[in-house]
Amino acid sequence: MLGIRDATQPAAFHVTSTLFGPLDFQPHSQVIMYLFIGLSTLWLVLRAFGDTRRRSLPPGPRGIPILGNVFQLTGDVFLTFHKWKRKFGPLVYLRAGGQDILLLNTHEVAFELLDRRAAIYSGRPKLIVASELMTGGLFMPLQSDNDAWRRMRRASHEHVGPSAVHQYRSTQMKEATIMVEGLLREANTWRDELERMSVSLAMGVVYRQPTITSLKDPRATHLNDFLHDFTLAASPGAHLVEYITWMKYLPASIAKWKRDALNRYHHDWLYFKNMYMTVEDRIRNGEHIASLAASLIRDRKQLGLSEKEAVWTAAAIYGGGAETTMTSLSWFLVTMVSHPDIQRKAQNELDAVVGQRRMPNFSDREHLPYIDACLRETLRWKGVTPVGVVHQTAEDDWYEGYFIPKGTICIPNQRSMNRDPDVYGPGVNEFKPERHLDNNGRLVCPFPNTHDGHVSYGFGRRICVGRYIADDTLFIAMASLLWAATIAPVEDADGNPVMPDTEGYENRGLVLSPLPFECSVKPRFPGAEEIISYTREMFEE
């Protein structure tokens, strides 16, 4: 909203907004601002009346002059998106400033446009704050569909794709074992333990760094600070400059959001480069390292990557997995506390396949379909990113009689898709692993236009490149925890169970995490703790 001018300061014009922070416009800046607004208005009018195809845009909510729907894209936008889906249907057209936006609400629409027409829909909008300013335009998930992105994407797929993930499994098993040990020791610090494991695992897989034992470790605090600022900057409606793009030319001296983003970039670039160079020094000294950064260093020239591209490729995998892994496991913990019958069924499967003399490993996975079904249902029921990372059209397109202009930002409404009763049947708000199993208890994917029964990893050429590592991590963490422990609610003073809130959430930018709760994590059978300790020692040898 606009601020009221202080009579003691007649020479300046003050603007305050939750979207882009305080600005102090001097008189000459005020003239420039009005000029830009006038030109923007003229351009919008000419575009609206000059292109008759725009009369065939999809339906959507009415906005305000010039700014369109920009002030409706704040807060918990996924709730607003769900209302619009019910009112307007599979496609919803929005406008923010001069930017066309298309909300994709169903599996069918998202699959047709983002998967089948990937050549048109694989672009990314130029997120000015999160991409251009904070990460120098080289953070792979947000990069444009250009040559640099293709090189970095190809390199990532080669080193974290299905043929490469086996090399990281010992690290994943070690971290899962330490995580279980930590939860058995102190269950009420579950959030810290899951966060520690996620950060430590990312550090081990990408840079082959020693295990992080505390969130006070500078490596953990850096990643948490980076992810916090990045996810907030990349969330829809975070900064008005994404819709009124001329604001990016404002000098940093009067735009705090710009100063903060540039400072973040300089700090993070030095950090990620140092982590990468440390691995390079270890290789030069003859050390054999199984990590993503080491693979990129060895193959960089063959892959056609510049050093800067290699540094940011490693950083993208490092930063991209920690937050979502921790949040997915948090929701899994909520599920096990609130569904003891499902927990027992999963543990019965573990006892039949693994027994109680050793911890589960990856060779058990094909014989544990119910555990895998729990994993898939967690990602469907509580996909951590309610709104998918946006795509952008490279050219004009038509779908079902609707015109989709070139440059349109396409937002996958993932939470609504994952809870679509037309796809998953009645009871979509219930946690039901059996959705992913056939009548014989075998793991299947009966849901069309999904990846493993959900859409939480995204679509098309922009589907999460680290999904195979993420899936492995979630499987071994879930299986290890269920094998070792009974997870139950705590009791109040009267002996009544205190259940976690399964529908409440904490909005952390791009992800939704469960509200704080307490739980009990106890060894499930005699000797479990000794086996866990022995297993950990094996990985540390």
**What is the per-residue pLDDT across 414-458, written as a single tens digit (0 to 9) for each?**
999 999 999 999 899 999 999 999 999 999 998 988 989 999 999
Q: Determine the pLDDT at residue 541.
A: 55
* Residue bearing the bigger pLDDT, 4 or 323: 323
The whole-number average pLDDT for the span 198-214 is 92
Give 37's pLDDT tier (boundaries 50, 70, 90).
low
Phi, psi at residue 93, to the nearest 5°?
-95, 135
Give 501's pLDDT tier (boundaries 50, 70, 90).
very high
- Name the DSSP letter for residue 311: H
Mean pLDDT (the chain) is 88
Domain ranges of the chain: 51-540
Of the CA atoms within 13 Å of residue 516, those in its CB half-sphere come to: 3
Strand-pair category, 497-498 with 485-491:
antiparallel
pLDDT digit string (tens) for 446-489? Answer: 898 898 999 999 999 999 999 999 999 999 999 999 999 999 99
Q: Determine the pLDDT at residue 286.
A: 92
Q: Determine the pLDDT at residue 389.
A: 84
Q: Determine the pLDDT at residue 50.
A: 63
pTM for this predicted structure: 0.86
For residue 32, is pLDDT > 70? no
pLDDT digit string (tens) for 209-267? Answer: 999 998 899 988 998 888 888 878 887 667 888 877 888 999 999 899 999 999 999 99
Q: Determine the pLDDT at residue 5.
A: 32
Whether the Cβ atoms of residue 223 and residue 231 lie closer than 8 Å to each other: no
Q: Determine the pLDDT at residue 3.
A: 34
Of the CA atoms within 13 Å of residue 360, those in its CB half-sphere come to: 31
The whole-number average pLDDT for the span 183-188 is 92
Strand-pair category, 13-15 with 512-513:
unpaired
Cα angle vertex 348, ends 346, 351, to 5°? 115
Q: Determine the pLDDT at residue 332.
A: 97
Tell me which fold the domain 51-540 belongs to: Cytochrome p450 (1.10.630)
pLDDT digit string (tens) for 380-393? Answer: 999 888 998 889 99
For residue 12, is pLDDT > 70? no
The whole-number average pLDDT for the span 72-92 is 92
From its phi and psi, is residue 400 left (phi > 0), alpha (psi between -120 and 50) or beta?
Answer: left
Which tokens in the block code for residue 322?
A: 């920690």
Whether the Cβ atoms of residue 483 and residue 354 lie closer than 8 Å to each other: yes
Q: Determine the pLDDT at residue 36.
A: 55
Cα–Cα distance for residue pair 514/503, rounded to 1 Å: 8
